[in-house]
Structure 1
Amino acid sequence: MTTGFERGAAFVDGRFVPVDEARVPITDVGFSRSDVTYDVVGVWDGAFFRLDDHLARFERSCAGLRLRLPFSRAETTEILMRLVRLSGLRESYVDVICTRGVPRDGSRDPRTFENRFYAYAIPYVWILRPEDAETGMDAVIAATVRRIPASSVDPTVKNFHWGDLTKGLYEAYDRGARYPILLDHDGYVTEGSGYNVFAMVGGELLTPEAGALEGITRRTVLELAAEEGIRARSAAISEQAFRGATELFATSTAGGVMPITSLDGEPVGAGLPGQVTSLLRERYWQAHKDPRYLTPVDYGPAPAH
């Protein structure tokens, strides 16, 4: 029996609806001005992975943009649980969004707006599919665009200011690749379009300390590396150091640990996933069975929507 929620479920204006029926007001400045923040948490094998960490970051992002969430942490959790339960998805990409909202009587004063909350659950999204992991990511260091300065748009607050990242994507496609990595205006590595990056440099695993989102997958990798006795830390990474790395990989909720096997058309190391990359990728997916990180979904009868 079909329920209408097989392609996903959304929470809009206090109602649960099939994701294909979800609508955002065209006058919401989250849409018209990108005045919005969001977070994405994965559901894997019927359980949320690091749900509280994602919601804590979401709350910090809202506070950083002076947005007011209409729901408590517990209420938000129940909304997300219900979305996954309605969809029946065992592997899901679950998004929470808070926008500035709709102006009142044409006001441009953000203090007068009623902030809006949206959420949805759809099938799991992959930046790099598991069957492509051995082939890996073909990355380029973008030459035509630099990352938006952190003093203008704080990269630790998840946002939709993707003008620079989208330009980087087009450059990658034009150069026969798919995955751009952007430098900042001082020439240091920041991040890619929806993923953090790591580099093995001088026997140490490094990830950019500035100009990038403080990803939950990134945090997990740093924790797992410490458990494995791998020296790992955040640091400023020059373009030269990045190009000389013996291993490179990217991290994201939408794919976990993803090997980068070529950079600007040249192989990274042997052109295959490296030893450290492979170990951390295996440990990352093993962590999805670790109760420390999991919030199981109750798939009992979904309540009426």
Structure 2
Amino acid sequence: MSRTVYINGAFVPEEEAQVSIFDRGFLFADAVYEVTAVLDGKLLEFDGHMARLARSLGELEMECPLTRGELLEVHRELVERNGVEQGGVYLQVTRGAADRDFVFPKNAPQTMVMFTQARPLTGEKKGLKVISTPDIRWGRRDIKTVQLLAASMSKMAAKKQGKDDAWLVEDGFVTEGSSNNTYIVKDNKLVTRHLSNSILPGITRAAVLKLVAELDMEIEERPFTVEEVKQADEAFMTAATSFVCPVVEMDGTAISDGVPGPIAKRLNEIYIEEARKSAI
């Protein structure tokens, strides 16, 4: 049975969903997106994702076609119609369809699409093996746009080497993962890159940093090098549908003896516990 998806006010079978070939999301990647995790059939960190959506749209001089309440209603309807217990809801807003021109069109009806993806989010995590690759993305990574070709190329480079993912490097320092925020632990201190135009302000990142503070760990927000990753006591990443995921190898060098470290494992447990409490 096919999924029910949402497009511009209508719930339709995925086979019937259509977007114009002139849509600027297709022609220019002139669009933003969010992915909200679903656990036990409920939405995690919904308000955080919607706040970041509004910020991304604002940075690109776009409006949101729906209100927060309408967005919540559509998310819940999709989860219910598709029977999703664990997974995520993908949302994308484009500037709309207009004849091809680099200049932003005036008064073009925007395009909004949403769909669900069902997949397990909980369970034992074996730890990821990652490679380092040059960060070739554009300079406004703080805006969650659909310009994901560089991230896809990095992830494919890792897959070709038999690894799980890539951590991106610029000027000798790790920026973030191909689709996640990155962290190391050294001497009971957590280090993660500070917020700027260089990285996406992760919703899970914000939640996890609050939990780290509650564990009486020191947090140092600064860039770190690949060599620091290799010498770390632990390393991990965070993302909306991955939560806290240990990293056990970088460029062939084992981290934390090549097994998930206790801090990452505990943070993942606490994050899931707290996220369930506030799920809607």
Q: TM-score, normalised by structure 1?
A: 0.84
The residue that corresponds to 1:179 in the other structure is 165
Residue 31 to residue 219, structure 1, CA distance change in 2 (3 Å): same
Q: CA contact under 8 A between 2:44 and 2:276: conserved in structure 1?
A: no
User: Match for residue 8 of structure 1?
Assistant: 3
Match of 1:273 among 260, 268, 273: 260
Alpha-carbon distance between aligned partners in 1 of 2:223 and 2:254, rounded to the nearest angstrom? 23
Q: Secondary structure at the match of 2:95?
A: strand
Give the corresponding residue for 1:235.
222
Query: Which residue pairs with 1:91 in the alignment?
Result: 86
Are 2:212 and 1:225 equivalent residues in the alignment? Answer: yes
CA contact (8 A) 1:39 1:54 kept: yes
Q: Percent identity?
A: 27
- Aligned twin of 2:273: 286
Contact 2:234 2:261 in 1 (8 A): yes
Contact kept, 8 Å, 2:45 with 2:275, in 1: the verdict is no
* Residue 154 of structure 2: aligned partner: 168
Hey, what's the Cα distance between the residues in 2 that align with 1:170 and 1:85? 33
Matched, 1:74 2:69: yes
Is the Cα contact below 8 Å between 1:179 and 1:192 reproduced in 2? yes
Aligned partners of 1:205 and 1:231 also within 8 Å:
yes
**Which letter does structure 2 place at the counterpart of 1:283?**
I
Identify unmatched segments of 5+ residues in structure 2: none
Deviation at 1:37, TM superposition (A): 0.3
Show CA shifts across 1:10-57 (max 9, x none): 111321012343222222110121111000101101211111111111
- Is 2:98–2:105's contact at 8 Å kept on the other side of the alignment? no
1: distance between equivalents of 2:54 and 2:177?
24
Post-superposition shift, 1:108? 4.4
Aligned to 1:249: 236
Which of 103, 107, 113 does residue 118 from structure 1 map onto? 113
| 1:146 equivalenced with 2:135 (yes/no) | yes
Q: Per the alignment, in what secondary structure is the counterpart of residue 130 of structure 2?
A: strand
Higher alpha-carbon deviation: 171-180 or 40-49: 171-180
**Partners of 1:8 and 1:122 within 8 A in 2:** no
Alpha-carbon distance between aligned partners in 1 of 2:15 and 2:258, rounded to the nearest angstrom: 41
TM-score by length of 2: 0.92
Distance in 2 (alpha carbons) for counterparts of 1:29 and 1:52: 27
Aligned residue in 2 for 1:205? 190
Counterpart AA for 1:235: R
1:147–1:190: 8 Å Cα contact kept in structure 2? no
| Cα contact 1:125–1:255 (8 A) shared by 2 | no
Provide the rounded CA distance (Å) in 2 between the counterparts of 1:167 and 1:45: 33
Aligned equivalent of 2:26:
31
Look up the equivalent residue of 1:174 and give its one-letter code. K
Which residue does the alignment assign to 1:301? Answer: none
Gap runs ≥5 in structure 1:
296-305
Q: What root-mean-square deviation, in Å, do the aligned CA atoms of Structure 1 and Structure 2 show? A: 1.9
Which of structure 1's runs of 4+ aligned residues deviate more than 6 A?
none
Amino acid at match of 2:137: I
| Number of positions where the alignment pairs a residue of Structure 1 with one of Structure 2 | 277
